[in-house]
Amino acid sequence: MAWSRLGLIAGGGDLPRTLARASRGEGRLGHVVALEGFADPADFPGASVRGIGQIGHMISDLRGAGCDSVCFAGLVRRPDFRTLKPDWEGMKLLPRALAAAARGDDALLQVIVSAFERAGFAVIGAHEVSGRLLAPAGPLGALAPDDAAIRGDIAKAMEIAAQIGALDIGQGAVVCDGLVLAVEAQEGTDAMLARVAALPESVRGTPAARRGVLAKRPKPQQDVRIDLPTIGVSTVEGAARAGLAGIAVPAGGALVVDAGAVREAADATGLFVVGLAPDALDGDGS
Amino acid sequence: MAWSRLGLIAGGGDLPRTLARASRGEGRLGHVVALEGFADPADFPGASVRGIGQIGHMISDLRGAGCDSVCFAGLVRRPDFRTLKPDWEGMKLLPRALAAAARGDDALLQVIVSAFERAGFAVIGAHEVSGRLLAPAGPLGALAPDDAAIRGDIAKAMEIAAQIGALDIGQGAVVCDGLVLAVEAQEGTDAMLARVAALPESVRGTPAARRGVLAKRPKPQQDVRIDLPTIGVSTVEGAARAGLAGIAVPAGGALVVDAGAVREAADATGLFVVGLAPDALDGDGS
């Protein structure tokens, strides 16, 4: 998708800051909308602050700054529709949004994406803003998953992640020695890993004897321009505390925020972080 | 299944105590094995204490007490096979148990159940020990789920629970306004409900404005003689703290430990607890 001037709709976490820096560095950042309650406006000088229902204002902000494209990035939770304060444009979307919300998160996101497309913006993914964000194929750090049990856990965790993704539950799962320890829904990956760390040591690994795997992958039906699974330093640290042996994502199908720091954290804690090529992804499933 | 003298293999939680009391009251309790690390032997006078790998000793204990049947009840976690101390009988099962463990919890449980069946015991479910434990059809307390949104959440939570059950992940799910808030794996229902209570109020209910539902149901492929889904007072209290409107289980397909106290807790906190008849169970799924 050709684009030259980006509007960034920023939610929580590190990803929006990374994208703002990358696109500003290339002279392609037009405007940032900091979503109220999710992004810290102090991180984005010149940003407008908008509530999640102020779709009309967001579109005006981006038009006013001459943007031809929009990227949605960072953590956003589904709003409480009863306390949402939509503007006129948001109000017009509300019936469709409510109907979509009952079908799931993906459907709801699609309603919002479509509104920006109808307003003439190219909707682009974070990986199109900065190609260096995509997980490469192969191990990111010094360690690789070469143990048969670990490969089995990777295959099973990837399979479970695909299944719960198809159900629109979430994108991540933790498997240890064939047992599904945890599945991610609305709590997020960090909370899921903290819960694995709280399980008895009989069912999980420890920093001294690592076992088990976190897998994250896109939902089969999702729009890959929005909400690609993301890992960062906090993911590696959480996985380390949970006693896991490593983290697996599809090569080209997940974002790695600050890959250099992720590599260092993985090597320092003795974890692997691996991007699986498509042929390795659904190969030896259990 | 005809039986007259019960051997109870007791894990954690209230259910084994309830079953011991019920069967002792009827003069049908032969012997209790308190599983080390899960059951408190002080709760079961005369019980033998056995590690989870001591299958041979458990069988001897039950035979010595003249038991013709065995019931597995209460919370047990998968053991760490590397630190398990199996006796001779347990050792003989180990290769099969390890192979089954890689396929999932149900397969692993089946290996243990089969060992007791081969030893000549009738394996009976907790609901066969005390029929009053089974969830009845209809509301247990004063409240019923009569709101359309709540009925939609019940249908979706039941559907998600069936799907994750088929994947051998777990038996429970929480859905609020069509959104899957949490799915239960190895952490257990109480931990899942605590996590829902920690989600932002935008996506969940509150004690002042309850919404969302916990559903628990058996895995489609599971042996209903072991590990039927269970609810008790702590489930109602956890659901109440999570702002949920209620709890749904299949009538005849879940155990209610101390139904009187569950009813009181539900009425006191303003939740419904409902047993769904089979025709209502997979009817209006979303």
The domain segmentation of chain A, as residue ranges, is 6-131, 134-280
CA distance A94 to A81: 9
Q: For the ranges A10-19, A52-61, A114-123, B277-286, which has the lowest average pLDDT?
A: B277-286
Residue B77: list chain A partners with CB under 8 A.
200, 202-203
Task: Name which CATH class applies to B6-131.
Answer: alpha beta
**Confidence class for position B285, pLDDT limits 50, 70, 90:** very low
Q: In Å, how far from its chain's centre is CA B164?
A: 15
Q: What is the pLDDT of residue A284?
A: 46
Is beta strand B246-250 parallel, antiparallel or unpaired with respect to B272-276?
parallel
pLDDT at B180: 95
Sorting pLDDT into bands at 50, 70 and 90, what band is A286? very low
Interface test with chain B among A153, A202, A204, A211, by most B beta carbons within 10 Å: A202
| ipTM over cut 0.90 | no
pLDDT at B284: 46
Rounded CA gap, B170 and B188, in Å? 9
Of the candidates A77, A178, A201, the beta carbon closest to that of B103 is on A178
Q: At what angle do helices A105-118 and A55-64 cross, to 10 degrees?
A: 40
| Confidence band, pLDDT 50/70/90 cuts, at residue A1 | low
Of B105, B152, B164, the CB nearest to A179: B105
Residue of B102, B203, B286 lying closest to A286 (CB–CB): B102
Taking only the tens place, the pLDDT of each residue in B106-123 is: 788 889 899 999 999 999
A262, A273 contact by CB (below 8 A): yes
pLDDT of residue B107: 82
pLDDT band at B286 (very low <50, low <70, confident <90, very high): very low
Q: In what order do the strands lie in the sheet with A172-176?
A: A138-139, A272-276, A246-250, A213-216, A172-176, A179-183
Residue B80 pLDDT > 90? no
Task: State how far the Cα of B203 lies from the Cα of A199, in Å rounded to an integer.
Answer: 26
Nearest to B51 by CA among B38, B65, B60: B38
> Per-residue pLDDT averaged across A101-115, rounded?
84
**End-to-end Cα spacing for chain B:** 38
Closest CA–CA distance from residue A83 to any residue of chain B (Å): 8
Strands B246-250 and B213-216: parallel
Tokens of B12: 């954690």
**CA B138 distance to own-chain centroid:** 20
> Is the pLDDT confidence value at A285 over 70?
no
Place of tokens 């599971």: B222
d(CA A145, nearest CA chain B) in Å: 18
Indicate the range of A149-158, B27-36, B220-229 predicted with least confidence: B220-229
Give the lowest-confidence range in A238-242, A256-260, B100-104: B100-104
**pTM above 0.90?**
no
Q: Over 70: is that where the pLDDT of A134 sits?
A: yes
* Predicted pLDDT at B283: 54
Closest chain B residue to A164 measured between Cα atoms? B164
Residue B39 is predicted with a pLDDT of: 95
Question: Does an H or E element contain B33, and which?
Answer: strand B29-35
Chain mean pLDDT for chain B:
92
Q: Does domain B134-280 have CATH number 3.40.140.80?
A: yes
Distance from CA of B122 to the nearest CA of A (A): 28
The overall average pLDDT reported for chain A is 92
Same fold, B6-131 and B134-280: no
Q: List alpha helices for B4-121, DSSP H.
A: 15-25, 55-64, 88-103, 105-118
Q: How far apart are CA B245 and CA B239, in angstroms?
A: 8
Element containing residue B265 per DSSP (H, E): helix B259-269
Rounded to an integer, the average pLDDT of A201-210 is: 92
For helices A233-241 and A189-197, angle between their N-to-C axes, nearest 10 degrees = 20
CA pseudo-torsion sign A192, A195, A200, A201: positive
Alpha-carbon distances, residue A76 vs A11, A51, A66, A72, B200 (angstroms): 5, 11, 25, 10, 12
Task: Find, in chain B, the residue whose alpha carbon is nearest to that of A195.
Answer: B187
Beta bridge partners of B71: B8
Residue A232 has pLDDT above 80, yes or no: yes
Contacts of B97 in chain A (CB under 8 A): none
